[in-house]
Amino acid sequence: MLDPRLLRAFVGIVEAGSFTRAADRLNMTQSTISQQIARLEEAVGHPLIERAARPVLPTAQGERLLGYARRILALQSEAALVLGDPSGSSAIRIGLPEDIFNPVTCTMFRHFTRRFPEIRLDVTVGLSRDLTRRYRAAELDMVVVKEPKASADCRAAFEEPMAWFESAVLPRDWGDTVPLVTFPPGGLYRDAMFERIERERKRWHVAFSGNSLHSVLLGVEGALGITLLPVSATLDARVRRCEMFGTEPALQAALYAWETAGPIGELVTGLTGVLARRSGS
């Protein structure tokens, strides 16, 4: 491995054209810089400087090394700068359902990162059941999940009203077999839909399955079928309540965190505020 100190001496000599001027620029004695270039030449096995030239010039092997030496020194400086900057040096891992990751949440996160620039927020958006599993496995530091009933160790929980929705722009008679617009298997809302429609003894089929809230809402807006969603997730969508099944039990939007001290406590407070505003509390 080439010692960066020796490379710096080599580059300094070439750029100054003189051992004496290079020593002055690098705050060394001439004997020290001469010893360093000699050690570098010994390490690479080739003369690197034409000492008899005026100004001194690199040898052919020196010219080949010069570009690499400059790149190595530049990377060393860049690494030192990055390691000396605490920004993003620690992480808080957060899991959120898609409809909770919204402009209000992003604004809260932005204010947090300005206040704590040394902390990086690693946010995962996913299904509540998967987020719960990862939180219990300590893969996430904090989660917001939707569930029928919050567990005793939640930090905060708010009611999440649910309803059935259909297109507001393309009315449709659903007939004897009801088409459903759903999330993929494993989604909490999907299973709740199937359970309710089975209780109602309705015939049904999955007409469209979307892997995001945006795609599910587009499917409903386009009258591909009806769906079950949190009321707060549909506020800007071109959908309306579908009265086929009447009311639906509310879910809980629950916040879990392994700790509440220090900066993570501020995130708990911020997310609690987001959930409270969503529920109208």
The per-residue pLDDT for range 165-193, each reduced to its tens digit, is: 999 998 888 888 999 999 988 888 888 88
Indicate whether 123 and 103 sit together in one domain: yes
- Number of separate domains in the chain: 3
How do beta strands 239-241 and 203-209 pair?
Answer: unpaired
- Ranking 12-16, 27-31, 39-43, 265-269 by mean pLDDT, the lowest is 27-31
Indicate whether 68 and 8 sit together in one domain: yes
**Residue 142: C-alpha distances to residues 89, 124, 191 (Å):** 18, 10, 25
Domain boundary pick from 67, 84, 101 = 84
Q: Give the domain range for residue 209.
A: 160-250
Q: Is the pLDDT of residue 200 over 90?
A: no
pLDDT in tens, 78-130: 777 666 655 555 889 999 999 999 899 999 999 999 998 888 899 999 989 89
Alpha-carbon torsion (4, 8, 14, 15), positive or negative: positive
Indicate whether 65 and 143 sit together in one domain: no
**Dist CA 267 CA 142 (whole Å):** 9
Indicate whether 168 and 236 sit together in one domain: yes
| CATH number of residue 19's parent domain | 1.10.10.10
Indicate whether 246 and 166 sit together in one domain: yes
Percent of the chain with pLDDT over 70: 96
Indicate whether 232 and 257 sit together in one domain: no
pLDDT in tens, 48-86: 999 888 888 899 998 999 889 899 888 887 777 666 655
User: Degrees (nearest 5) of the Cα angle 23, 25, 30?
Assistant: 5
pLDDT in tens, 239-277: 999 988 888 889 999 999 988 888 899 999 999 999 998
Residue 247 in tokens = 């009311």
| CATH number of residue 108's parent domain | 3.40.190.10
Q: Can you give the pLDDT at residue 163?
A: 94
Q: Can you give the pLDDT at residue 227?
A: 94
Looking at residues 185-210, what average pLDDT do you find?
Answer: 89
Per-residue confidence band for 218, with pLDDT thresholds at 50, 70 and 90? very high
Indicate whether 139 and 266 sit together in one domain: yes
Q: Can you give the pLDDT at residue 88?
A: 53
**Dist CA 57 CA 55 (whole Å):** 6
Indicate whether 174 and 244 sit together in one domain: yes
Q: Can you give the pLDDT at residue 256?
A: 95
Q: Is the pLDDT of residue 235 over 60?
A: yes
Indicate whether 235 and 130 sit together in one domain: no
Domain boundary pick from 84, 103, 121 = 84
Domain boundary pick from 84, 110, 136 = 84
Indicate whether 128 and 264 sit together in one domain: yes
Q: Any residues with CB less than 8 A from the CB of 70 and at least 6 apart, and which?
A: 11
pLDDT in tens, 155-164: 999 999 999 9
Indicate whether 187 and 219 sit together in one domain: yes
Indicate whether 193 and 243 sit together in one domain: yes
Bridge partner residues of 57 (DSSP)? 50
